[in-house]
Amino acid sequence: MARKKKELPLFENVGITDVAAEGNAIARVNDMVVFIPFGAPGDIADIKIDRKKHSYAEGHIDKMVTPSPMRVEPMCEHFGVCGGCRWQHLPYSFQIECKQKQVKDALERIAKIEIPEISPILGSEKTREYRNKMEYTFSNRCWLTFEQLRSGVDFPDRDAAGFHIPGAFDKVLDIKKCHLQDDFGNRLRLFIKQFGKDHGYSFYDLRAQEGLLRTLMIRIASTGEIMAVMVFGRDDKEKITALLDAVKEQFPEITSLLYVINTKMNDTIADQQILVHSGRDHIVEEMEGLKFRVGPKSFYQTNSLQALTLYRVARDFADLKGDELVYDLYTGTGTIANFVARNARKVIGIEYVEDAIADARVNSAINNISNTEFFAGDMKDVLTDSFIETHGRPDVMIVDPPRAGMHGDVVKVILNARPGRIVYVSCNPATQARDLALLDAEYRVEKVQPVDMFPHTHHVENVVLLKAR
């Protein structure tokens, strides 16, 4: 006989006191820490425990008794369901205060090294419509909210164009309006959805892995250029052409209208052929007069305005006089490398993705930058002692690794290369703090500058300057 699952408790009149680094709010019940999504310091609420561990628990607000005076009205009707923008209910001034604290806590608690006073975080000028890239999924079985399920109403039309519900690959929330990108993105997504419904197009079945309308990516550059990449689940030339022709006619401002026929099991298009329906195969971003070619597979910081702020901080920390050899590790499409090249003797960029390195070389060429050189390969395999012997010992290293931080072997090579200065750009202060501890024997932290790239989320970028001891 199966054991009955133990009912987890409901705690009444719990005071929420703080916000955690992962974005959840914190309460303490009987000496137990409880993590609660969508809470605000000052809330008094009944908390239902969903999961209990030895040292902590996870729960949700079952009933709000007294909302915090700090709370603000979320801008989005999908807040709390779609999974994104989890801090819309918090004032932006408090959001960046939390991010500043997150950086400080990570460096003190994880790195456990001597750090200078952390500079005040640089907030984002735009807190709405700040993203230059959005991706949407089409589904024939939209996610029904608890309110819809409890209503008893039948929902025969389940076609959706929106976002995956967190932790559920086959659940898609239909989005009416997203505030993260210029409203053009909403108009285009809703047009394609309605065209598909009006003309009998099948929306993708994520379980059966079949259907015509699959995903849509929209990129809007700071230059005003627009890219739309429509991904289809099968090859149906007549219907594909009809839809793309309609999009082209309705939205003549699209400068790059592309499509992909993806019949494999996952949504990534990194290994897929990109086909041009109309316009160019890329759009152009601009930063301080430099032009950056952005293709459908290119990485480019998704907050264009704040990317300029971030790169200016990195360049200022590098303190280039014009005669330095700079290594730019995890260079991506060479944005930082090309951004600092005019201030250096030479910049060498290294990146794992070969397509990105191809873009980096193009970006140097279109800007008439001749003092850059780029190499593709796994960082720990390319950046070896012999590589440094061949290409020169760097005066400055700029590193911008993924969220996982730097591989231990890369840290060792950096220590052996012993550049005079290291500028460490990170999207994860926790792994950055771990790496700083590994570098501490040879380098001291001179400056720390957090930068907010993603308002209404708990994510924060942090730039650290290290100097050789």
Angle at 163 between CA 241 and CA 211, to 5 degrees: 40
The 3 state secondary structure assigned to the chain is CCCCCCCCCEEEEEEEEEECCCCCEEEEECCEEEEECCCCCCCEEEEEEEEECCCEEEEEEEEEEECCCCCCCCCCCCCCCCCCCCCCCCCHHHHHHHHHHHHHHHHHHHHCCCCCCCCCCECCCCCCCCCCEEEEEEECCECCCHHHHHHCCCCCCCCEEEEECCCCCCCEEECCCCCCCCCHHHHHHHHHHHHHHHCCCCECECCCCECCEEEEEEEECCCCCEEEEEEECCCCHHHHHHHHHHHHHHCCCCCEEEEEECCCCCCCCCCCCCEEEEECCCEEEEECCEEEEECCCCCCCCCHHHHHHHHHHHHHHHCCCCCCEEEEECCCCCHHHHHHHCCCCEEEEEECCHHHHHHHHHHHHHCCCCCEEEEECCHHHHCCHHHHHHHCCCCEEEECCCCCCCCHHHHHHHHHHCCCEEEEEECCHHHHHHHHHHHCCCEEEEEEEEECCCCCCCCCEEEEEEEEC
Return phi, psi of residue 60, to 5°.
Answer: -140, 160
Catalytic positions: 427
Task: Give the span between the Cα atoms of 220 and 449, in whole angstroms.
Answer: 28
The number of residues in the chain equals 469
Q: Which residue do the tokens 């790059």 mark?
A: 256
The C-alpha atoms of residue 299 and residue 8 are separated, in whole angstroms, by 44
Q: Of the candidates 248, 277, 273, which has an alpha carbon nearest to the alpha carbon of residue 262?
A: 273
Tokens of 399: 């590193």
Contacts of 393 (CB under 8 A, 6+ apart): 325, 417, 418, 419
